[in-house]
Chains A and B, each alone.
Chain A
Amino acid sequence: ETGVTQTPRHLVMGMTNKKSLKCEQHLGHNAMYWYKQSAKKPLELMFVYNFKEQTENNSVPSRFSPECPNSSHLFLHLHTLQPEDSALYLCASSQGGGAPRFGPGTRLTVT
């Protein structure tokens, strides 16, 4: 149990579908992150929320839309994705400068 949960764990979607990834942290942290992990590439930071305010949008295409309704929940809304968006999407949380704690990830396949 990492204290950070993600649902669903696996998702297959067509290019015209709309879906959402959910992340919840039970650690009382004040910052949450979305990272993308593709084969042979480093973990890529997508979005950062500090105290529910988005502080970074790392040049992510608009087909990815984050939402952070409170400091414990983070969503990633997906629409009109491309096959190259297939990857492992990892949520993480941290308290200030502490080490981010990762969730188990959602394995996304776009067909």
Chain B
Amino acid sequence: GQNIDQPTEMTATEGAIVQINCTYQTSGFNGLFWYQQHAGEAPTFLSYNVLDGLEEKGRFSSFLSRSKGYSYLLLKELQMKDSASYLCAVRFKGSNSGYALNFGKGTSLLVTP
């Protein structure tokens, strides 16, 4: 695989900030995506990074460092509904699969009152 690593589980308190990290193999990198998946539901797209830096979308931000093979998803003002699995996915160049993504195992986030 492409060695996409992220923590298995995290717990945070309602109203707080949480950062979910993702590391990946840098060779052939062609874009990084974050998805949210609630139990029993489809993954839904959150953010996309292909250049270094921070992309902000409301309470959610995503950061990328291509040289370090590192990204994080930042969730602010946590709400109970943010309890879900967060999937880091990377697109690599040169594969026969074109635009298909390679996924990490996901980080299960639990938001507590």
Interface residues of A (CB under 8 A from B): 2, 4, 31, 33, 35, 40-43, 45, 48, 50, 55-56, 58, 90, 94, 96-105
A94 in contact with B96 (CB, 8 Å): no
- Categorize the interface residue count of chain B: 20 to 34
What are 29 A-B contacts with C-beta separation under 8 Å?
A: A2-B44, A4-B42, A31-B99, A35-B103, A42-B102, A43-B87, A45-B97, A45-B101, A45-B102, A48-B96, A48-B97, A48-B98, A48-B99, A50-B98, A50-B99, A56-B96, A56-B98, A56-B100, A58-B97, A90-B42, A97-B31, A98-B99, A99-B45, A100-B45, A101-B45, A102-B35, A102-B43, A102-B44, A103-B42
Measured in the bound complex, the distance between the Cα atoms of B20 and A20 in whole Å is: 37
Question: With a CB–CB cut-off of 8 A, which chain A residues contact B44?
Answer: 2, 102
Could you say which of A42, A96, A101, A104 contacts B103, with CB atoms under 8 Å apart? A42
Task: Give, as a whole number of angstroms, the nearest-CB distance from B92 to chain A.
Answer: 11
Instruction: Knowing A42-B4, A90-B43, A101-B45, say if A55 contacts B105 (CB, 8 Å).
Output: no
B98 in contact with A2 (CB, 8 Å): no
- Interface of chain B, main secondary structure: loop
Measured in the bound complex, the distance between the Cα atoms of B44 and A50 in whole Å is: 21
Measured in the bound complex, the distance between the Cα atoms of B105 and A4 in whole Å is: 23
Instruction: Knowing A90-B42, A104-B42, say if A40 contacts B100 (CB, 8 Å).
Output: no
Contact with A along B1-44 (1 / 0, CB 8 A): 10010000000000000000000000000010101000001111
